[in-house]
Amino acid sequence: MSFNIALSGIAAAQKDLNTTANNIANANTIGFKESRAEFADVYANSIFSNAKTAVGGGVATSQVAQQFHQGSLQLTANSLDMAIKGGGFFVTASEIGSLDHSFTRAGAFKVDSNNYMVDSAGNYLQTFPVDKDGNSTSVSLTTSKPVKIPDTAGSPVKTENVSLQMNLDAKATALDPALFDPEDPKTYNNVTSMTIYDSLGESHIMTTYFVKPKEASYNGESNWVAFYAMDGKQVDVAGTAGRYDIDTNGDNLPDVPPASAGGGRAAQTAGGWQGSVLKFNSVGAYTGSDPAVIQTEVLGASGAGVLGPGADGTQALTVKFNAPTQYADPFSATELTQDGTTVGRLTNVEIGADGLITASYSNGSSVPLARVALVRFANEQGLTQVGNTSWKASLNSGPALAGEANSGTFGSISSSALEQSNIDLTTELVDLISAQRNFQANSRTLEVNNTLQQTILQIR
């Protein structure tokens, strides 16, 4: 019996040595979690034995338990590297569409030959789908999928809406809009330009000219006239109601329609510029425009003729003035925006604390791609190790509970960082010495037992 007890002690000490050695070997393994050998005494008793004099039967290894406390973070230069600060695991799958998931804390990800985010073993990082605003549309592992980093922003988007905001100087010299000539700066007060895009992604320069008319009022309010050009070519305002028409046919109609005109008059199309009127009240606040909705004529051959062959000739621009002002202060443009894009090349990939993966492109656009999926377990120590610093769910761990980073009990994500092993080498070296002493002591017990057996065998 004593031999078996000593042998169990040697086996336990060896298990402790092996566990400690494995911890030390993985001290620099990203995402590694230290193991701890846990032992229990072997004791047997029955109703007919004397419990006061019973001796235990040795020791047995009850569990090699993983310790999931946080490891320190190491900053890197790779924006795809991730570390979880707090609870949770990354989710990976060996194949696209597979529901056989593995879970890891090692966030060393890269892009494979097909532009999918994978780990060092080629397993695909699983993510939740998001809408155009970056909001998750589903938070379930069954709908998670790999994320692919595109190298372009896709097809170009033609500009449809233009927004301008500026201050028009109330002290500006009044001019005659009928004399407006874009080639003569003396015929207009101010000018501003912005880039817009056609359906092929080609850029064009949209120029807006502002003229303070000599007429003191338009429908009882002070006003400015805006004329538009594309790449230096005239672009008129669509429709006729409320539109400002330069009188070029000599009919002596007023350039600015009076209030009695009912908001509009017949268009004069003898080649003069046609623009819109911006209206301001007595405190310089914007009160609206004529036409109320400013839309240019089509930009193709049937209209302004400013687009090249192959582009969508029906493209037109809706011009919105976003609360402009008319103060006694120099002209200044504070907002010039449009909703079109040209073809862009990938310039950067960013991952937020909430796991949102966003791609930035050379055309200035940012596209939310997906959100990193995280999971947690009721009993992390019940996870089954599968190597490559990964685990599988088991009956002891409970099912994987999915969620978003930086919400609830899930930790936040730090990009360009990796979680180092949570091994404390000082502690491990002390444990190594302790396990060695235990092994020596049990070996000595075995040696003493052997000596006693020899003594008994030599009795005559």
Instruction: Please give the DSSP secondary-structure letter assigned to residue 200.
Output: T
Chain position carrying tokens 């538009």: 228
Amino acid at 179: L
Task: Tell me the average pLDDT across 204-223.
Answer: 81
Return the pLDDT at 385.
92
Tokens encoding 177: 């809009």
Within 123-281, residue ranges assigned H as helices are none
Owner of token pair 């907002």: 335
Q: What is the pLDDT of residue 325?
A: 96
Q: Is the pLDDT of residue 118 over 60?
A: yes
Per-residue pLDDT, averaged over 248-253, amounts to 44
**Would you say 402 and 144 are in contact if contact means Cβ atoms under 8 Å apart?**
yes
Residue 453 has pLDDT above 90, yes or no: no
3-state SS, residue 97: coil
**Reported confidence tier of residue 6, pLDDT bands at 50, 70, 90:** confident
* Block residue for tokens 């449809």: 160
Average pLDDT over every residue of 263-288:
72
pTM exceeds cut of 0.75? no
What is residue 99's predicted lDDT score, i.e. its pLDDT?
A: 92
Average pLDDT of the segment spanning 242-267: 47
Predicted local confidence at residue 155, as pLDDT: 77
Domain ranges of the chain: 2-69+429-457, 73-153+345-419, 161-338
What pLDDT does 101 receive?
96
**Fold topology of 161-338:** Tick-borne Encephalitis virus Glycoprotein; domain 1 (2.60.98)
pLDDT at 264 over 70: no
Distance CA 288, CA 276 (A): 11
Bridge partners for 280 per DSSP: 222, 286
Average pLDDT score over the chain: 88
At 460 the pLDDT is: 66
Asked if residues 368 and 135 have their Cβ atoms less than 8 Å apart, the reply is no
**Burial, 151: exposed, middle or buried (Cβ in 10 Å; 0-12, 13-18, 19+)?**
exposed
CB atoms within 10 A of CB 323: 11
Does 291 sit behind a cis peptide bond, omega within 30 degrees of 0 on the bond before it? yes
pLDDT at 53 > cutoff 80: no
Average pLDDT over residues 206-212: 96
Segment 232-244, tens digit of pLDDT:
999 999 987 778 8
Which H/E stretch holds residue 278? strand 274-280
The three-point CA angle 335-338-339 to 5° equals 140
Determine the Cα–Cα distance for residues 205 and 233; give it in Å rounded to an integer: 10
**Maximum CA extent, the chain:** 147
Q: What is the structure's pLDDT at 258?
A: 36
165-201: pLDDT as tens digits: 999 999 999 998 989 999 999 999 999 999 999 999 9
Residues in the chain: 460
Q: Is the predicted pLDDT of residue 314 greater than 50, yes or no?
A: yes
